[in-house]
A and B are shown apart, each in its own frame.
Chain A
Amino acid sequence: MTFTQECVIAVERERLWDFLMEVPRVASCVPGVEGVEAIDAKSYRGNLRVQIGPIRLSLHGTMTVDEQDRAAWRARMRAEANDRRVGGGIRARMSLTLAPGEGGTRLRIETDLAILGRIGEFGQPVIKKKADALLEEFAQNLGSKLGQGG
């Protein structure tokens, strides 16, 4: 499934870009993400905890930055994570672009997401809504962190 999300962060583009390219710091703004550490210059591993109704997922996996094009204000990354207990996982390709927006910078995220295994059947219909809620909180965290001088 593919979807596009947008939000405006109240900081200038250069500053947002520099912040977004520092993965462990950005990760601290994503609700449910923990234990992020670098594997090498382009890859990281960590945990994402998500709750969908009574189901608690603990997705453990890696994220790789495939492209960082500051001239085009675009970055691409992919993530792979699995929940061993429930049996299933996610595969995601994401593309981030930054554009000038009203009162700050417009962050656009295009996601191509596959949900595998048992969690797919149950979670598929609400993934988009969960992703929207996640982005909203992420944008808030990002705004307050950068607002405080990052």
Chain B
Amino acid sequence: MRAFEYAAPRTLDEALAVLREHGDEARVIAGGTALVTMMRQRLVSPGYLVSLRDIRGLDRIEADNGGIRIGALATHRDVETSPLVRERLPVLAETFRRVASVRIRNMATVGGALAHADPNQDPPVTLIALGARVEICGTDGRRALPVEEFFRDYYESALEPGEVVIGVVVPQLAPASGAAYVKFLPRTADDYATVAVAATVSVDPDGERCRAARIALGSVGVTPIRARGAEGLLAGQRFGAELLRGAGEAVKGAVDPLSDHRGSAAYKREMAGVMVGRALTRAWDAALVSARGTR
């Protein structure tokens, strides 16, 4: 590993100033699970590391208009075990629980994982299905982006030089709605998904028809993908095998998987169709339970 300078500013403004001063040479570090691995492999060799660890309040998980705001420095384990997340959005706690091993979840942060923009991660998939937004801060001010617009290419995000992810805001589920995350994991429990799908389904008050749905997939392209075509097929329809098949076919047309040691592109495409059916079935079941509760 190449030698580097290390700064641990106490405030966000200080951190942004350091980033500005060192430009291309500087990288932000939070949990370090991704960056340190890449540095040890000498894939990246920043001359300056700016740690966000000592910035107070950046790790908070708090209620936000019925939904939840998660600070960038919250660890995966924090989200997994947060009573607030478990109560309001259990699917999100479950998604974070599926990430790697507990040792990694204790270190990896929510903001760091987003900034890393690895298309095989679990949380972005569920965050997209839930309609979450990423909060970004730079010297010119703050902005927010829907999570699906934050990912631009393989390990490339919408972050401009000098910008930092400061949090993610997840809205509450609509009434009579359910959500599910399914991870196809044929190898080891701590592996990346071969295909991952998250879905939310909202049903009519009588539970007969789908009102709206959101579907997102991971590990099937250079970024996480939102399957808008399949979502459109569901609105106004009754649940059934035919509908799930149609959604599966639409999803297969929307994904663009990469062949790797977890499977060929063709195999992942087929499995994406299968896993979408499973995710929708679970989300729909949860929506029916929720609809009964509100009647």
Q: Which A residues fall within an 8 A CB radius of B? A: 52-55, 85-87, 118-119, 122, 124-126, 129
Assuming the contacts A52-B154, A53-B153, A54-B38, asked whether A124 and B260 have C-beta atoms less than 8 A apart, the reply is yes
The docked-state distance in angstroms from the alpha carbon of A36 to that of B48 is: 32
The docked-state distance in angstroms from the alpha carbon of A87 to that of B40 is: 12
Inter-subunit contact B155/A54 (CB<8 Å): yes
| Minimal Cβ-Cβ distance residue in A for B259 | A125
| Minimal Cβ-Cβ distance residue in B for A55 | B43
Q: Which residues of B, 139-155, contact A by the 8 Å Cβ criterion? A: 153-155
Assuming the contacts A125-B258, A125-B260, A126-B258, asked whether A52 and B155 have C-beta atoms less than 8 A apart, the reply is yes
Inter-subunit contact A118/B43 (CB<8 Å): yes
Inter-subunit contact B154/A129 (CB<8 Å): yes
- How many Å from the CB of B222 to the closest CB on chain A? 6
A residues less than 8 Å from B44 (CB atoms): 54-55
Partner of A122, one of B27, B43, B45, B259: B43
B residues less than 8 Å from A119 (CB atoms): 43
Whether a CB of chain A sits under 8 angstroms from the CB of B156 is yes
- How many Å from the CB of A64 to the closest CB on chain B? 29
Q: Which B residues fall within an 8 A CB radius of A? A: 27, 38, 41-45, 117, 153-156, 222, 258-260
Output the residue of B45, B155, B259, B260 with the most chain A CB within 10 A.
B155
Main secondary structure of the interface of B (DSSP, over half): loop
B residues less than 8 Å from A54 (CB atoms): 27, 38, 43-44, 155
The docked-state distance in angstroms from the alpha carbon of A52 to that of B44 is: 11
Inter-subunit contact A53/B156 (CB<8 Å): yes
A-B contact pairs, 8 of them (CB 8 A): A53-B154, A55-B155, A85-B42, A87-B42, A118-B41, A119-B43, A126-B258, A129-B222
Instruction: Known pairs A55-B44, A86-B43, A118-B41; list 5 more (Cβ under 8 Å).
Output: A53-B154, A53-B156, A55-B38, A118-B42, A129-B258
A residues less than 8 Å from B117 (CB atoms): 53
Output the residue of A119, A124, A126 with the most chain B CB within 10 A.
A126
A residues less than 8 Å from B153 (CB atoms): 53
Inter-subunit contact B45/A85 (CB<8 Å): yes
- How many Å from the CB of B87 to the closest CB on chain A? 36
- How many Å from the CB of A81 to the closest CB on chain B? 17
Output the residue of B44, B154, B260 with the most chain A CB within 10 A.
B154
The docked-state distance in angstroms from the alpha carbon of A118 to that of B43 is: 8
B residues less than 8 Å from A118 (CB atoms): 41-43
The docked-state distance in angstroms from the alpha carbon of A125 to that of B43 is: 16
The docked-state distance in angstroms from the alpha carbon of A129 to that of B221 is: 11
- How many Å from the CB of B129 to the closest CB on chain A? 24
- How many Å from the CB of A125 to the closest CB on chain B? 4
The docked-state distance in angstroms from the alpha carbon of A119 to that of B38 is: 11
The docked-state distance in angstroms from the alpha carbon of A125 to that of B41 is: 18
| Minimal Cβ-Cβ distance residue in B for A118 | B41
Partner of B42, one of A53, A86, A129: A86
The docked-state distance in angstroms from the alpha carbon of A119 to that of B42 is: 10
- How many Å from the CB of B164 to the closest CB on chain A? 15
